[in-house]
Amino acid sequence: MKILVIGGGGREHALCWKLSKGGSAEKIFCAPGNAGIAGVAECVSISDGDVKGLRDFAVQQKIDLAIVGPELPLTRGAADSFKEAGIKVFGPAAYAAQLEGSKYFAKDFMREMSIPTADFADFAEYEPARAYLEKAAYPLVIKADGLAAGKGVLVTSSKDEAQDFLKSLMLDGAHGGAGARIVVEECLVGEETSILAVCDGRDMVILTPSQDHKRAYDNDEGPNTGGMGAYSPVSIVTPALIETIREQVLQRVADGMKKRGTPFVGVIYAGMMLTAAGPKTLEFNVRFGDPEAQVVLPLIEGDLAQICLAAAEGRLAEAKWEPARRTAMCVVMASGGYPGSYEKGKPINGLEAAGALDDVVVFHAGTAAKDGRIVTAGGRVLGVTGIGANLKEASAKAYEAVRLISWEGERHRTDIGKRDLVRIN
């Protein structure tokens, strides 16, 4: 099978790595890829936002299956374009991708489908939003409606901070058009978890639950990021809780999209808050998470290429799955300054030594090859994943590898998985 993976980050490295282990992927292309992906796939210099270029390449190469990694090409209609060209694709149509592409669309969909979520208000003009925040009860959550790389969200108890954030979104254009409309939500209290399910438009298989760490610094302090680490499974997410989320959230997404004439094919990612009143939906993504993919994919027992193909062909019920028997933890190593400004081109040391450790995979997110060296080329540079019989073992392996890797200005969180480690000890 010839496969095209679209994207160039840590998630796509994890996808290509897992696909290469399955046996049925005879050739893997990745567009645009990165320095790490080049070790398991042929990188193609086509931007993940160039939908026409990607489709033309897939037709030329007679690709059997396209797997779309990031959200941007999905919202731009990549899956629709591949289907029109007769290419099988793992990823939802642009209409369904609005579940991630528009916070308002997602909240309105949840309201229609009775999916448990926080109460909300939405605004397309600055002055009504400003007046609402002046009288609102705090704490609350403000979200840019469009895609903002996980950074267009503020959780705050400060009216002044809320007004400043609103101004930055709607007047100053901090996230471009993504902030032209906003959603304001009640602040839910509890513990977060990420539930990912592979769906073929009707049937679905739920992957092992994971927990992301969004804040930049230890103890969940600092600004939101795209994710500083993750682990899977999560001890408090019981089989009974997963079944509740399946019935009240995931199945209602599949049913709602089918009802609207756009069956959902790909990954439904539900970001959940486990509140005292039960699980409530914070957000949807329409693809594998990053860094969740770096812990969930290594735990899949089976051929990922065949699983994705079965979903694309509407026969997921036939796919072979085995429940995960191990635990994985990923520590993101970032450039100094991330999620703000940072320098690129810093030579990375220790990759070979870290990659030689047993049960460790170093996934490249923002890297490039330069003058025979691997250098930094992004904010989140590496995702170092350790795999073990339990979280304590997986954590030890991941941090052992992290200690072997260095570059000027590198930083990472030292407490990934701490909450669960305390619970299970």
| pLDDT tens by residue, 111-148 | 999 999 999 999 999 999 999 999 999 999 999 999 88
Q: Determine the Cα–Cα distance for residues 32 and 34; give it in Å rounded to an integer.
A: 7
The confidence score (pLDDT) of residue 87 equals 97
Pairing state of beta strands 373-376 and 367-370? antiparallel
The predicted model gives 295-301 an average pLDDT of: 95
More confident residue, 425 or 170: 170
Give the pLDDT band (50/70/90) at residue 323. Answer: confident
pLDDT at 14 over 80: yes
- Tell me the pLDDT tens digit for each residue of 372-389: 999 999 999 999 999 999
Percent of the chain with pLDDT over 70: 100
- Tell me the pLDDT tens digit for each residue of 333-382: 999 999 999 999 999 999 999 999 999 999 999 999 999 999 999 999 99
Q: What is the dihedral angle through the alpha carbons of 239, 242, 243, 245, rounded to the nearest 10 degrees?
A: 160
The confidence score (pLDDT) of residue 423 equals 85
pLDDT at 85 over 80: yes
Q: Determine the Cα–Cα distance for residues 32 and 79; give it in Å rounded to an integer.
A: 17
Pairing state of beta strands 373-376 and 65-68? unpaired
The mean pLDDT value of the chain amounts to 95
The confidence score (pLDDT) of residue 174 equals 85
Q: Determine the Cα–Cα distance for residues 33 and 46; give it in Å rounded to an integer.
A: 9
The confidence score (pLDDT) of residue 90 equals 98
pLDDT at 425 over 80: no
The predicted model gives 230-252 an average pLDDT of: 96
Give the pLDDT band (50/70/90) at residue 54. Answer: very high
The predicted model gives 261-286 an average pLDDT of: 96
The predicted model gives 166-173 an average pLDDT of: 92
The confidence score (pLDDT) of residue 147 equals 86
pLDDT at 149 over 80: no
pLDDT at 150 over 80: no
How much is the pTM? 0.94
